Amino acid sequence: MTLIRDYYAEHNSSRDLADAARRAMDAGEYDLAREEVARLAVELEDHWQGEEGGLFAVMVERYPDDFADYIRPLVEEHRALAAFLATLDVTDASHRQAFADEVLELHEHMLREEDSLFPASVVTFDGQDWTRAIDGWQQAHPDRELIAD
């Protein structure tokens, strides 16, 4: 499914940006680290809007007993990470350690989506569900197209 491919691509991009920010912090290149963190925050915000307004919304509305309790904490994690990134001081050693910890949690978060929600959507969604999920993604990414086959 094309949409799922885009979610994976966004996860990979976010991982790369987070890793680049960590490398810059470790090297003491704080201006570069700030740039990478800012890029990561934008990438994640767009990704989260696409998930929450698309895939997650469909799953919770159509299959609440199966997915609502699984998705709710994921959305809370989105909000918590956004708040953390907004206040991150890359020059502060405790913030840098907290960022490293948050990146590990982000990787685990993505795996929970990739190993559970994405495959579940493939086997449960019908055509209308996919249309709604794609529309939600497109609203969050008005200047982008889904990855073509």
Residue 145 covered by a domain: no
Residue 25 covered by a domain: yes
Find the length of the chain: 149
Residue 56 covered by a domain: yes
Residue 75 covered by a domain: yes
Spatial separation of the C-alpha atoms in residues 91 and 31, rounded to whole Å: 10
What's residue 56's pLDDT?
Answer: 98
pTM: 0.93
DSSP 53-88: IIIHHHHHHH-HHHHHHHHHHHHHHHHHHHHHHHH-
Total number of domains in the chain: 1
What's residue 149's pLDDT?
Answer: 64
Angle between helices 30-50 and 64-87 (to 10 degrees): 160
Q: What is the dihedral of CA 37, 108, 84, 118, to 10 degrees?
A: 80
Helices marked H in the chain = 2-26, 30-50, 56-62, 64-87, 93-112, 118-124, 127-140
37-48 pLDDT, tens digit each: 999 999 999 999
65-108 pLDDT, tens digit each: 999 999 999 999 999 999 999 999 999 999 999 999 999 999 99
Residue 59 covered by a domain: yes
Residue 149 covered by a domain: no
Q: Is the dihedral of CA 75, 120, 59, 45 positive or negative?
A: positive
What's residue 38's pLDDT?
Answer: 98
Residue 148 covered by a domain: no
Residue 43: domain span: 2-140
